[in-house]
Amino acid sequence: SVSKTRNMDTGFEMASVFTTRVGFPSAYTDTVAQRLFFEQLAERVAALPGVQAATVASGLPGAQQGLNGDRFSLESATYATDQDRPRTRWVSVTPGFFRTLDIPLKQGRLFESSDRLGALPVAVVTERFVEQHLGGGDALGKRFRLGGAESTEPWVTIVGVVPNVFGGDPQEAFPAVAFRPFEQAHANFAYIVARTVGGTSPMVLADPVRGVVASLNAD
């Protein structure tokens, strides 16, 4: 099983990729400051020498932690009970996520800097999401909302489709996933992800990244 996992096509780049997790305790409730922290963190890590691309994400492909699962409603469907609503995994990412992990665009567009709080709520979904929840049809422009019948979450418009990526569970290797802009789907904890240039060992980024984090918030 380990051998097969090591040799499978995960759908994302693993070589020369540095990851670490950082965040705020639940008692820290200033979400405006947190959003600013993570936005600046992604920008400053991307500007470090030797970094080809960088992003911040609430969860990572291949890692169960941070990949939230929730029931959701499709705008075009009706449900007798909340238990009848489908489930999907979702993760919050900054615009550089797909470039950093070399995940190509299949349809529509990826996230842009304009996909912020207050703008149209959007999502990029995997092909499995389209197959499983939309019958394999055209996903662009379709809307869904996380939660049950009493949900106050906004309706989210699908603007892009990407290939399936390994979710970390060999029993369900390529689950349906919806990606949300980090600005629009806040998380207290997130992963810093950076890809180095020219095959440079990703661990050379450990100290510089630690320095960036400390410079933004010493606590």
Q: What is the pLDDT along the chain (219 residues), one digit of tens a residue?
A: 778 767 777 777 778 999 999 999 888 888 889 999 999 999 999 999 999 999 999 998 877 655 567 899 999 899 999 999 999 889 999 999 999 999 999 999 999 999 999 999 999 999 999 999 999 989 999 999 999 999 999 999 999 999 998 776 777 777 899 999 999 998 899 999 999 998 789 999 999 999 999 999 988
Question: What does the pLDDT read at residue 196?
Answer: 94
SS (H, E, C) 39-105: HHHHHHHHCCCCEEEEEEECCCCCCCCCCEEEEEEECCCCCCCHHHCCEEEEEEECCCHHHHCCCCC
Question: What does the pLDDT read at residue 70?
Answer: 85
Question: What does the pLDDT read at residue 65?
Answer: 53
Assign 3-state DSSP to the chain and report helix, strand, coil percentages, each to 5. 25, 25, 50
Q: How far apart (Å, rounded) are the C-alpha atoms in residues 88 and 152?
A: 18
CA angle 112, 89, 183 (to 5 degrees): 30
Q: How far apart (Å, rounded) are the C-alpha atoms in residues 76 and 140?
A: 14
Q: How far apart (Å, rounded) are the C-alpha atoms in residues 139 and 161?
A: 8
**Greatest Cα pair distance in the chain:** 55
Contact 1, 89 (CB under 8 A): no
Q: How far apart (Å, rounded) are the C-alpha atoms in residues 117 and 128?
A: 27
> Which of 198, 199, 200, 180 is closest to 190 using CA atoms?
180
Q: Which amino acid is at 64?
A: Q
pTM for the structure as a whole: 0.90
- Based on the number of CB atoms within 10 Å of its own CB, is 163 exposed (0-12), middle (13-18) or buried (19 or more)? middle
Rg (CA), the chain: 17
Question: What does the pLDDT read at residue 172?
Answer: 73
